[in-house]
Chains A and B, each alone.
Chain A
């Protein structure tokens, strides 16, 4: 009895502290369930795989954007880093399994190093993140064009097929677990591999980071940098780590994009679109652009909302030339959910926080 009452008060506290995220989660659940009900093959593995494939790249880039936003900055290079690592991966993901693995590691390393460089420029160069990353983003695109002036590349076909389908296909392609028929694989056989990849990265990278001193410092910087400094928190380390991790997560997006398209493309427009969409996803997930509240998991949900909205155009009959307008209006409505907190403030000065 006592236990259950503390549990419900825990939930209440969590809700009051994470209103934005909870609203985003609810919005996503409603949108996604309705979509599946309306879809002629809703709730099937094929639809889940398609949805997951389309969402992975933007999900990783949105998670990447979250960290610089948490410290109160913006990273305008995430889309460009995704494009750069996409081009790197398109050159390296071929050959023997060992070579492919090495290629994947090098791809992730490229993004991580690029993020580290961003962090150093921001911390030691004392340049505003938004300006620093605007410049380094252009550098990343330049490098991408240098590596791959024309779209193309030869990513291993099996790898591409196996990682963009269900767990069953993964087992079938590489012939483990009796080609996917083993009893212990049954419960997972229909889960899309891309979904698992995002979850695995979120769990092994984001969750431990958030609990570490550096992770907490990132939040502290976003809330009140002065107070964090006075408390002796490792501010410089946290900032550099935030950008480095952003680079790593953007590289995860680029790596997956290369696997998904089995090629690389130094597409400038696409890089820009991903950067802007990543900011939208972060806000949709309930992370404040002022920093200090939110998280990568929330942005993951934000990215999923962003994608689900566009899914609707394929099952509903909406005039093609009106679609961008409607998408914008829905997005505006969704983002406005985040403004609900203004209805609850006790002191108007809180709004400037």
Chain B
């Protein structure tokens, strides 16, 4: 043991000495020019997106998913999707070890878990960041050790790592545009709009809200936006929406970031007239739109898919194989409005409310559907 300690001591002293003095800036991915590999799946965010290339490593790879907050349906579906996709034939032989941990909303714990996996010699770490900032140290360590870190969903405010996301700003804008249009059709140009926000403090909540308010401000209508915080959770959202209705009376529309089942339930319980509602892609929300759209529940459902985890894993493997990858990968927004809903295709009337309908991305070979993944028991996906 003592000998081992000495050896590792010598190593850890020699390694940073070498890296710090010679190649601090050179470690990590090289910035190259595009186009990247498989652009239908790994679409660059914009024309200015940089491209990265890591040195190819021989497979199979060890991959870890470091989740933060756990406890809502979306995260559970995400974890199940990750596990199922690791067993998918397209990926199975390329992965030698796969681990998922959740650290809760605790930045040091999440940073610690990432650092631990780097220390253990994992090749790639896929993560949902608990904060858009604060990852400088682990990024530096990952680059030093040639580990690929792929934040997705709640991404980081940095261009030093490869990230996967849907355009949250655009999602916010689309929700608001749809709402303003539906209101215009009804001849409404003023009134109170209820905005239901998500988990405070992270980038998704921030960007969606910016998008929503940008469009509402620019629409020229005389809107009074009332904000409540629903944490993207059905129960919390139902409570805060019910409270808002009790305080403010009637709203002309509701723009919710998540927990859309809760929005619908609260409107129903309060006998609030059906108004245009923008929301996420929960099955229950789509069921409600299909049922009540004729009564005025004109809805738009845009999903942040739990299947993003599969694309992030695929991107990590692709980067490890030495392919040219965009620094910021944009996954198209899966949109469905009230006139596009079709039972058994983009919602399921015979299935429970609380799973997320959008999970597949055919251009990426991610073909695990929402009902498929949520109907499986824990045993089945193991």
Contacts from A to B (Cβ < 8 Å)? 39-41, 43-47, 50-51, 53-58, 150-153, 157, 160-161, 164-166, 168-169, 172, 189-190, 257, 260-263, 265-270, 273-274, 307, 310-311, 313-315, 317, 319-321, 323-324
Contact of A54 among B5, B83, B111 (CB under 8 A): B111
Is the CB of B103 closer than 8 A to any CB of chain A?
yes
- Contact in complex: A41, B121 (CB < 8 Å): yes
- Contact in complex: A260, B137 (CB < 8 Å): yes
| Bound-complex Cα distance A265 to B200 (A) | 10
| Bound-complex Cα distance A192 to B120 (A) | 18
- Contact in complex: A320, B100 (CB < 8 Å): yes
Is the CB of B334 closer than 8 A to any CB of chain A?
no
The A-contacting residues of B in range 84-116, CB under 8 angstroms, are 99-109, 111-113, 115-116
Contact of A262 among B103, B104, B137 (CB under 8 A): B137
| Bound-complex Cα distance A54 to B113 (A) | 8
Closest CB in chain B relative to A264 CB, distance in Å: 8
| Bound-complex Cα distance A279 to B4 (A) | 37
Is the CB of B1 closer than 8 A to any CB of chain A?
yes
Known: A45-B12, A320-B101. 19 other contacts (CB 8 A): A39-B119, A40-B120, A41-B119, A53-B115, A54-B111, A56-B108, A151-B134, A151-B201, A151-B202, A160-B136, A161-B140, A172-B16, A261-B135, A263-B133, A265-B131, A267-B105, A267-B107, A270-B130, A314-B99
Name which residue of chain A comes closest to B65, CB basis.
Answer: A320
Most interface-central of B137, B202, B378 (chain A CB within 10 A): B137
| Bound-complex Cα distance A56 to B119 (A) | 19
A267-B201, A268-B200, A268-B201 known; A41 and B8 CB under 8 Å? yes
| Bound-complex Cα distance A281 to B80 (A) | 32
Contact of B12 among A57, A190, A257, A262 (CB under 8 A): A190
- Contact in complex: A168, B133 (CB < 8 Å): no
Chain A residues near B133 (CB-CB < 8 A): 151-153, 261-263, 265
| Bound-complex Cα distance A268 to B200 (A) | 8
| Bound-complex Cα distance A284 to B327 (A) | 44
Name which residue of chain A comes closest to B104, CB basis.
Answer: A273
| Bound-complex Cα distance A40 to B157 (A) | 32
Chain B residues near A323 (CB-CB < 8 A): 101-102
Is the CB of B223 closer than 8 A to any CB of chain A?
no
A41-B121, A319-B378 known; A261 and B102 CB under 8 Å? no
Contacts from B to A (Cβ < 8 Å)? 1, 4-5, 8-9, 11-13, 16-17, 20, 64-65, 67, 69-70, 76, 79-80, 83, 99-109, 111-113, 115-117, 119-121, 130-137, 140, 157, 199-202, 206, 378, 382
Contact of A46 among B119, B206, B378 (CB under 8 A): B119
> Do most interface residues of chain A lie in helix, strand or loop, or is the interface mixed?
helix
- Contact in complex: B131, A321 (CB < 8 Å): no
| Bound-complex Cα distance A41 to B11 (A) | 12
Chain A residues near B135 (CB-CB < 8 A): 261
Closest CB in chain A relative to B76 CB, distance in Å: 7
Name which residue of chain B comes closest to A56, CB basis.
Answer: B108
- Contact in complex: A273, B67 (CB < 8 Å): no
Q: List 24 A-B contacts (CB under 8 A).
A: A41-B8, A53-B112, A54-B115, A151-B133, A157-B136, A165-B16, A168-B16, A189-B9, A260-B134, A261-B131, A261-B135, A267-B105, A269-B105, A269-B201, A270-B105, A273-B104, A273-B105, A314-B99, A319-B378, A320-B83, A320-B100, A320-B101, A321-B79, A324-B70
- Contact in complex: A190, B120 (CB < 8 Å): no
Contact of A257 among B80, B108, B200 (CB under 8 A): B108
Closest CB in chain A relative to B154 CB, distance in Å: 11
Name which residue of chain A comes closest to B201, CB basis.
Answer: A267
| Bound-complex Cα distance A53 to B109 (A) | 9
| Bound-complex Cα distance A315 to B80 (A) | 20
Name which residue of chain B comes closest to A310, CB basis.
Answer: B109
Name which residue of chain B comes closest to A268, CB basis.
Answer: B200
- Contact in complex: B136, A262 (CB < 8 Å): yes
| Bound-complex Cα distance A324 to B16 (A) | 36
Closest CB in chain B relative to A259 CB, distance in Å: 10
- Contact in complex: B378, A321 (CB < 8 Å): yes
- Contact in complex: A161, B120 (CB < 8 Å): no
Closest CB in chain A relative to B26 CB, distance in Å: 17
- Contact in complex: A311, B116 (CB < 8 Å): yes
Contact of A320 among B12, B79, B199 (CB under 8 A): B79
Chain B residues near A160 (CB-CB < 8 A): 136-137
| Bound-complex Cα distance A26 to B157 (A) | 43
Contact of B111 among A53, A150, A165 (CB under 8 A): A53
| Bound-complex Cα distance A166 to B8 (A) | 13
- Contact in complex: A273, B120 (CB < 8 Å): no
Closest CB in chain A relative to B67 CB, distance in Å: 7
